[in-house]
């Protein structure tokens, strides 16, 4: 594998591809979605075998993958995502005339994408990062995740088929296999213009530092997981004890807990704690251990649990039962908020179906907790309206700590849409201004460029006076389709 040739080809392909119309890019993405669907019978068994995830889940994940591809296809076909903004010239303005200034979003260039182990389809080869970069008009150099090599190769083949069917250069997407050294070489290449990653904190931070040590640093969009706390209030628990216990356990144990939105922490008031714990324990004991993605992930899960078992601040409600190391057995421990506040170890993510129930005394303690929380992808508040109204300071503070604040349901199950925000303050991600799920993710791979006094016929169509694309634009500060 010659990394330099890969990037030279990716750069050449990018220079052509970026100028394609939104309709042409959209057509390519739609073609890809169709090809992936027509290869369902080949892709699903591979992904099931390589990830240990059940067939139903993988089938659903393929649907989610093609669904998000179509979301981006529609976005770029419609075209307004480029945020065309026009301040027309004011030659007669006094005391100084104003030049004609027109700004638009333009794609960054070749993007390096690292696949995730826990979503072999939706966050991997043709997953959200790859597709949002392609939709923006970037070429992609993709580092396959070693946990699902055959699935990755098959999906990469589908992407090549789609490129070929649309008469586009194959180097718009390059599939690279290898280990740490290859991944790092991709990030270091001078033609790489951005990096997208989903995985561990250690991996994300290593790549973040590498990208910043380059002679020309590049943006790093690393999603590194989260503990996704749930804050429970007394009246809500009094009313819905069993329903909420069910909802918590279902979310905690979904997919053996291998979701970045898995709720690993739950804050419960002292008075209601015992009842709630009983209901949770009853649910939890009925859930069997499920195979984890690979032995490395299962080992990391049990190592983390072992480190916690050594701490005498914890009382175990359900212990993990590692009969077969690949199986992630759900576990739950309880701790007093005063102890939780003292030790950062208890704040950290345990990737898998482990929950820590933190029992708090009063609202003052709850505020201390919120102040100490690190940045999260999500925070959930289970409270009655009256309780929310009486705790606006807390609700206000929690907004500073997360990318998505929920008031119903559980954080797993991330909707792929226009309003979704999947990315929070550090350490959940390295770039809280953006999302890695939903159509807004496209903005990660574009930068603004302004054209000053550019002749009309040379302007991108999105900025021409006649608005030939018929898109929404901001002209003189006013949104218009004219
Ligand atoms: P990972 O270890 O972070 O690896 C993800 C990808 O990044 C792999 O391709 C890996 O390379 C690469 N990588 C990791 N460290 C690197 C470094 N220092 N330099 C260059 N490349 C590097 O994630 P994983 O293998 O999927 O799972 C390990 C742990 O990550 C889990 O136990 C869990 O804690 C966490 N995780 C979190 C999320 C999340 O939601 N954010 C998702 C999945 C996993 P190789 O190809 O050489 O392995």
Kindly report, residue by residue over 101-121, the tens digit of the pLDDT.
999 999 999 999 999 999 999
* Ligand 1 centroid – CA 229 distance (Å): 23
Q: Is residue 259's pLDDT more than 80?
A: yes
Which residues lie closer than 8 Å to 370 by C-beta, 6 or more apart? 231, 394, 397, 398, 401
**Per-residue pLDDT band at 302 (split at 50, 70, 90):** very high
pLDDT score for 321: 85
| In a domain? residue 425 | no
Which residue's C-alpha comes closest to atom 16 of ligand 1? 203
**Are 218 and 357 members of one domain?**
no
Q: Hey, which of 114, 124, 203, 435 would you mutate to test ligand 1's pocket, going by the most ligand atoms within 8 Å of its Cβ?
A: 203
Instruction: Judge whether 238 counts as a catalytic residue.
Output: no
**Are 393 and 437 members of one domain?**
no
Average pLDDT over residues 10-23: 98
* Ligand 1 centroid – CA 135 distance (Å): 25
The proportion of the chain whose per-residue pLDDT surpasses 70, expressed as a percent, equals 100
Which residue's C-alpha comes closest to atom 26 of ligand 1? 117
Instruction: Judge whether 223 counts as a catalytic residue.
Output: yes
Average pLDDT over residues 39-63: 98
From the CB of 223, is ligand 1 less than 6 Å away? Answer: yes
From the CB of 460, is ligand 1 less than 6 Å away? Answer: no
pLDDT score for 324: 79
| In a domain? residue 417 | no
From the CB of 297, is ligand 1 less than 6 Å away? Answer: yes
| In a domain? residue 415 | no
pLDDT score for 91: 97
From the CB of 294, is ligand 1 less than 6 Å away? Answer: no
**Are 163 and 24 members of one domain?**
yes
Instruction: Please tell me which residue in 260, 334, 365, 402 is annotated as part of the active site.
Output: 260
Query: What's 255's domain CATH number?
Result: 3.40.309.10
Q: Is residue 167's pLDDT more than 90?
A: yes
3-state SS class at 236: helix
Q: Could you give the CA distance from residue 224 to residue 129 in angstroms, rounded to a whole number?
A: 14
From the CB of 114, is ligand 1 less than 6 Å away? Answer: yes
Which residue's C-alpha comes closest to atom 29 of ligand 1? 200
**Per-residue pLDDT band at 462 (split at 50, 70, 90):** very high
**Are 76 and 166 members of one domain?**
yes
Q: Could you give the CA distance from residue 289 to residue 319 in angstroms, rounded to a whole number?
A: 12
Tell how many helices (H) and how many strands (E) occur in the chain: 15, 19
What's the whole-model pTM score? 0.96
Q: Hey, which of 3, 117, 378, 411 would you mutate to test ligand 1's pocket, going by the most ligand atoms within 8 Å of its Cβ?
A: 117
**β-bridge pairing 473-475 and 478-480:** antiparallel
DSSP 8-class letter at 143? E
Residue 324 belongs to domain spanning: 230-406
Q: Is residue 425's pLDDT more than 90?
A: yes
Q: Which of 134, 136, 142, 150 is nearest to 116 (CA)?
A: 142
3-state SS class at 282: helix
Among 406, 423, 446, the domain-final residue is: 406
**Are 264 and 215 members of one domain?**
no
Q: Is residue 323's pLDDT more than 80?
A: no
**β-bridge pairing 473-475 and 85-87:** parallel
Taking the CA of residue 349 as reference, the ligand 1 atom at the shortest distance is 34
Which residue's C-alpha comes closest to atom 28 of ligand 1? 200
SS3 content of the chain, % helix, strand, coil (to 5): 45, 20, 35
**Are 203 and 336 members of one domain?**
no
* Ligand 1 centroid – CA 147 distance (Å): 10
Q: Which of 301, 300, 296 is nearest to 320 (CA)?
A: 301
Instruction: Please tell me which residue in 223, 277, 334, 387 is annotated as part of the active site.
Output: 223
Average pLDDT over residues 56-70: 98
**Are 385 and 451 members of one domain?**
no
Q: Is residue 228's pLDDT more than 90?
A: yes
Query: What's 159's domain CATH number?
Result: 3.40.605.10
Q: Which position has the higher pLDDT, 482 or 391?
A: 391
Taking the CA of residue 145 as reference, the ligand 1 atom at the shortest distance is 9
pLDDT score for 99: 98
**Are 180 and 242 members of one domain?**
no
H or E stretch at 250: helix 234-253
- Tell me if 411 sits within 8 A of 229, measured CB to CB: no
Q: Could you give the CA distance from residue 481 to residue 469 in angstroms, rounded to a whole number?
A: 10
| In a domain? residue 269 | yes
**Are 360 and 381 members of one domain?**
yes
Q: Could you give the CA distance from residue 199 to residue 355 in angstroms, rounded to a whole number?
A: 20
Which residues lie closer than 8 Å to 465 by C-beta, 6 or more apart? 456
């Amino acid at each position: 594998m010659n990394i330099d040739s890969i990037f030279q080809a990716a750069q050449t392909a990018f220079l052509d591809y970026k100028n394609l119309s939104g309709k042409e890019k959209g057509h390519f993405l739609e073609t890809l979605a169709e090809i992936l669907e027509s290869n369902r019978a080949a892709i699903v068994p591979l992904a099931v075998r390589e990830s240990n995830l059940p067939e139903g889940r993988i089938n659903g994940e393929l649907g989610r993958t093609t669904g998000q591809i179509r979301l981006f296809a529609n976005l770029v076909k419609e075209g307004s995502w480029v945020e065309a903004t026009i301040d027309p010239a004011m030659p007669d303005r006094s005391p100084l005339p104003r030049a004609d200034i027109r700004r638009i979003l333009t794609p960054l260039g070749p993007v390096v994408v690292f696949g995730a182990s826990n979503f072999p389809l939706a966050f991997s080869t043709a997953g959200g990062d790859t597709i949002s970069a392609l939709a923006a008009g970037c070429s992609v150099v993709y580092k396959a995740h070693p946990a699902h090599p055959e699935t990755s190769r098959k999906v990469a083949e589908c992407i090549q088929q789609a490129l070929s069917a649309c008469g586009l250069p194959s180097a718009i997407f390059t599939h690279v296999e290898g280990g740490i050294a290859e991944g790092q070489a991709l990030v270091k290449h001078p033609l790489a213009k951005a990096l997208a990653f989903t995985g561990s904190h250690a991996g994300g931070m290593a790549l973040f530092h590498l990208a910043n040590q380059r002679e020309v640093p590049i943006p790093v969009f690393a999603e590194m997981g989260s503990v996704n706390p749930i804050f429970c209030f007394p009246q809500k628990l009094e009313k819905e004890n069993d329903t909420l216990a069910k909802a918590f356990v279902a979310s905690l144990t979904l997919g053996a807990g291998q979701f970045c939105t898995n709720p690993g922490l739950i804050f419960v008031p002292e008075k209601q704690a015992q009842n709630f714990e009983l209901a949770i324990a009853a649910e939890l004991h009925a859930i069997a251990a499920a195979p984890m993605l690979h032995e490395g992930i299962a080992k990391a899960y049990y190592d983390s649990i072992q480190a916690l078992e050594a701490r005498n601040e914890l009382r175990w409600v359900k212990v993990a039962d590692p009969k077969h190391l690949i199986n992630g057995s759900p576990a739950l421990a309880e701790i007093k908020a005063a102890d939780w506040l003292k030790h950062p170890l208890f704040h950290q993510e345990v990737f898998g179906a482990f929950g820590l129930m933190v029992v708090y005394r009063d609202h003052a303690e709850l505020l201390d907790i919120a102040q100490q929380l690190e940045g999260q992808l999500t925070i959930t508040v289970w409270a009655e309206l009256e309780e929310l109204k009486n705790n606006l300071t807390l609700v206000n503070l929690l907004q500073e700590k997360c990318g998505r604040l929920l008031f119903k349901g559980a954080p797993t199950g991330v909707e792929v849409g226009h309003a979704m925000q999947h990315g929070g303050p550090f350490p959940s991600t390295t770039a809280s201004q953006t999302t890695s799920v939903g159509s807004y993710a496209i903005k990660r791979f574009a930068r603004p460029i302004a054209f000053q006094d550019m002749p009309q016929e040379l302007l991108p169509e999105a900025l021409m006076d006649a608005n030939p694309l018929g898109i929404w634009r901001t002209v003189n500060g006013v949104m218009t389709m004219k």
